[in-house]
Amino acid sequence: MEPFEGLIPGYANAKATRAYAEQHLAAGHAAEGHYSEFTRAKMRLSSLGVGTFGGAATPEVDARIGAIVTRALGAGINVIDTAAHYRYGRSLAAVGAGVRGALVEGVPREAMFLISKGGFLTLDGGPPTDMNDWFEREIVGPGLGSRDQLAKGAHLLTPEYIDYQIDLSRKRMGVETLDAFLVDQPEVHIAEIGKEMANRRLEPVFALLERAVRENRIRAYGISTYEGFRVETDAPLFQSLTSMQGLAERAAQEVTGDAHARHHFRLAMLPFNQVMLEGFTRFNTATGKGNIASALQAAHQLEVYMMASHTLLKGHLGRQSVDIVGERLAEYPNAARRALQFNRSTPGLGTSLVGISCTEHLDDLLAVAALPLLERQAYLGMYQKAE
C-alpha cells in the first residue's frame, strides 16, 4: 500500500498510560490491581479490554462498536482488540471511529493500546459469490499468496498477506502505528502441513513483523492461539512460547544483521475462562530456565504479556457460572460480572478481552473494573475445592 494521509500519530507509552491509570484510579473508575504492567516497557494496561469480533456486518453495529470504544477509553479501559477479518473488515473502521471519539473527549492516543490481528482472510464486504474467482483476483493476482499456502480455505501465513493486513488495519483504524499485531491462530496450518513446515512459514512472517516494528507501523507482535498454548506438550497442535521466541530471535537477527538483536515478540493470547483453565493449570512449557511451567507462568518468566480471549465463552458464562464460582462470588449481581472478576484475578494474566457489540454489556465491564481483584488465596481456593 502507498503511504496514508491523515493517520493519527503516536502509540502507547509508559508516561501516558501511567497517567491514564492514575487518573482513573483517582476518579474511582478503577480499583488497585486493575492495571497490569506491560513487560519492560512499564506501560499500564487495563485488566479488562474491549473485543470487537461479534455483531452483524451492518452500519448500526458499526455505530454501536464505535460508541462502546469511545466510552470504554474514557472510563478506564485502555485496551482495544480487533482483527483485519472481524465482521468482514468492518470492525477496523468502527474501532477507528471510537478512537477518534475518545481523542475528542481528551483521551491521548498515547494512553490507548490498540491491537489488530491477521492471517484469516478478510473477505472485504462479505463472502464472495465465487470464492475461487475472488481468491485468484484478490490474493493470487496481487501476489499475496497461493492456493497451496491456504489452510482450511480461510487462512494465509505469508509475509505478503500479513503485510497487507497490517496496512489495512492501520488505514481503516486511522492510526499510524498499531501498538501490537498478532498472527491469529497459526496452528491451523499444522493439521495440513505439520508443525515443522508451519513454523517455517511463520519465521518469514516474524521477519516481516520485525521490519514493521523498525518502520514504526507496529510496536510489538505475537500470536493468538485457540488450542496451541492449552494442549499437552505432545499434542500435534501444541505451540511453545519458548520456540516462538526462538523464531522471533532469528527473525530479528536476520532483519538487523545483529547477532544480539532483541526481538519484539512481546505478547500472546489464549482462551481462558472458568471452563477453559489449561493456560493456568496445565504445565506444558519448558521455559529454557530450568523448569516446566503453565502458559501463564512461562509468559511471565519469558516477559511475554498474556491476554485472554473467550472470557465469557461466547456468552455462555454471561448467563451461568461454574458452580464454585457462583458460590464464592454469589454477591455479584450476574454471571457476567463473576466471569470477568474470575478472569482478571488470575495470576499471570494481563488483560482479559470481552467482545462487546451492545452498549448495555459495557456496564458490566466498567462495574468490575471499579472492584479490587480477588485476594490470591480466595482465587486459588476455588481450584482447591474443585479438586
Specify whether the backbone of 252 is left (phi greater than 0), alpha (psi in -120 to 50) or beta.
alpha
Q: Is residue 4 part of a domain?
A: no
Instruction: For residue 7, tell me if it sits in a domain.
Output: no
**Is residue 127, in this structure, part of any structural domain at all?**
yes
Task: Give a yes or no: residue 3 inside a domain.
Answer: no
The answer to whether 47 and 35 are in contact (CB under 8 A) is yes
CB–CB of 35/201 below 8 Å? Answer: no
341 within a domain of the structure (yes/no): yes
CATH number at residue 65: 3.20.20.100
Contacts for 172 with CB less than 8 Å, ≥ 6 apart: 89, 92, 93, 96
Q: Are 308 and 351 within 8 A, CB to CB? A: yes
pLDDT tens track of the chain, all 387 residues?
445 779 999 999 999 999 999 999 999 999 999 999 998 899 999 999 999 999 999 999 999 999 999 999 999 999 999 999 999 999 999 999 999 999 999 999 999 999 999 999 999 989 999 999 999 999 999 999 999 999 999 999 999 999 999 999 999 999 999 999 999 999 999 999 999 999 999 999 999 999 999 999 999 999 999 999 999 999 999 999 999 999 999 999 999 999 999 999 999 999 999 999 999 999 999 998 889 999 999 999 999 999 999 999 999 999 999 999 999 999 999 999 999 999 999 999 999 999 998 888 999 999 999 999 999 999 999 996 543
188: in domain = yes
Q: What angle do CA 111, 313, 347 make, to 5 degrees?
A: 55
Phi, psi of 257 (to 5 degrees): 75, 15
Establish if 2 belongs to a structural domain.
no
Q: Which three cell numbers stand for residue 177?
A: 502505528
Element (H, E) at 51: strand 48-51
List all residues 6 or more positions away from 149 whose beta carbon is below 8 Å from its beta carbon. 156, 157, 158, 201
Question: Comparing C-alpha atoms, which of 158, 163, 88 is closest to residue 123?
Answer: 88
Range of the domain at 218: 14-386
Is residue 253 in a domain? yes
Domain count, the chain: 1
Give the list of residues 6+ apart from residue 106 with CB closer than 8 angstroms, or none. Answer: 74
Decide: pTM greater than 0.95.
yes
Strands 180-184, 283-286: pairing kind: unpaired
Other beta carbons within 10 angstroms of residue 277's beta carbon come to 17
Contact between 122 and 88 (Cβ < 8 Å): yes
Please, are residues 11 and 266 in contact by the beta-carbon 8 Å criterion?
no
Q: Residue 161 and residue 164: Cα distance in Å, rounded?
A: 5
d(C-alpha 280, C-alpha 299), whole Å: 11
